[in-house]
Amino acid sequence: MSFEVKEEDLLARIGKLKTKSGTVETPLLFPVINPSRQPISTQEIAATFGFEALITNAFILKQCFGQEVSQKGLHKFLNFGGPIMTDSGAYQILVYGDVHTNPEEIVEYQEQIDTDIATILDIPTSWHVKKEDAQKTVEETLNRARQFFQIKTRDDILWVGPIQGGRYLDLVAQSARKMAKLHYEIHALGSPTEVMERYRFDVLVEMILTAKMNLPIDRPLHLFGAGHPFMFSLAVALGCDLFDSAAYSIYAKEDRYMTETGTARLDELEYFPCQCPKCASTNPQEVMKLPKLERQTLLAKHNLYVCNAELRRIKQAIKDGRLWEHMEMRAHSHPALLQAIKKLAKYKEFIEKHSPATRSSGLFYFDSTGLARPEIVRYSRRLRQNYTRPRAAKTLILIPQTEVKPFHKAREYKQIRRSLYKTFDKASKPHVCFYAAPFGIIPLELDEMYPLSQHETSMPLDKETIEHVATQVVDYLRHTSYDTVILIHDAQNWNNTILNICKETCRKNKNNLKTVLFKRSLNQQFKVYVGSRFLPSA
């Protein structure tokens, strides 16, 4: 197997995955094919909709078509020349409790039909099971994963080693660590379907990241059943390179119409919010009049257009370094998704560690949800670990952020500099830092470094963001030593949070704190300040 990463953003990768039937680009969505009742031909899925690979179910093929698929070969049977992945029947175990086959038969059958990417017959972990039963699914899946290497006879198929454990994260970690020691080319997170059906995307985040943290980072990760485009960006951002969807067809049977932000019922739509070829020339009322099979086919095609369009948006967002913004925008389409994004704060150190350090674009900061962004986490850590203040400076001047960036080019800063520097001789030149959202403390000499000047912040700030900046200010003051701290107090944007935290910290550190009220027009204020040299401490 060859998996080459071309672009990265967060944990997402645009990569090239080589199979014996061709090389495909990730992140990759496999439309699920059911040969017994497939509304759209495989040729059309490739030629019209641009999907590079398909997935089908080896257990269903074996039960329904037997040796016909082996004799023809899977590609000829499905009339598709590109890479094909086969699932093993584990989902049927989840639904029906058992399947009439065994691990050896499924491995042998997938080799016989000449699939490109194959999956062992694992034991899925249901949402409902107790922990001791979940432990059994992990152990049995691992047993089968080890035995597989005595069964397989071909080396040109990419095999998937599934991770089980369900909502029990310690079991997911255990499963991933042990599966990582086995030589599988691809891994997959098993049993996520019930989690997604319950809209427990917060649990899904923890399952995916627990698996990622315990697997080799260079192996592709597949997410089974991630069928709706409104959560694609979340899955990709968490490091899922591959995923499959039967939703385009299942939803169509139920007259459900996909959009990138949710699903609508056809009979409730007045207009189609889409300009794909299937929607541009008709309307919901006309489509409702079509015979059921024709209506189902039209909706399935529309759903595929929506899925592919969202994938392309995500790939462009990765190239532009704007996947976080795209993911955050999609998260506001449903409270459960936004709740999931907030869960990323728990894993921010891991995400930062594996995210690119530089990118070609700045960032947009909307609210405290963005505090888990790698750029913010990385800056805070590096400031604490690597930055040393000017040794000669005995006085720190804390200046609030300005609308202009870099801050030292703002009119307000120049006014403060002209006024304040008159009170100091050259030997006692003060050190200037800005306090700004979302980064916290920004020393003057770092003001133009990426991304400190390459971001836009939404004002007014929310409470959590103000508290985050205040925490960064406290941390900086505790790990530096100045005789005097002069705080330019901006009550308009920061209420009294920064003022109060500076008072308390300087009292404990025995710093001399001086405060000056910040105004957009500073002339009059600084005449008073300079005339009395220092205002009384607040």
- Catalytic machinery residues: 87
**CB-based contact 345:377 (threshold 8 Å):** no
Q: Which residues face 159 on adjacent strands?
A: 118
**Beta-ladder partners of 161:** 187
For residue 19, report the phi and psi dihedrals to the nearest 5 degrees: -125, 170
Instruction: Give CA torsion, residues 383, 387, 393, 397, to 10 deg.
Output: -10
Q: In angstroms, how far apart are the furthest CA atoms of the chain?
A: 96
Helix axes 131-151, 103-112, angle to 10 degrees: 50
Query: Rounded to whole angstroms, how far apart are CA atoms 137 and 131?
Result: 10
Q: Are 103 and 120 in contact (CB under 8 A)?
A: yes
**Contact by Cβ (8 Å): 234, 203:** no
CA separation for the pair 295, 285 (Å, rounded): 11
Half-sphere exposure of 367 (CA within 13 A, CB side): 11
Alpha carbon of residue 20 to chain centroid? 30
Q: Give residues with Cβ within 8 angstroms of 374, minimum separation 6.
A: 10, 348, 351, 352, 355
CB-count exposure of residue 72 (10 Å: 0-12, 13-18, 19+): middle
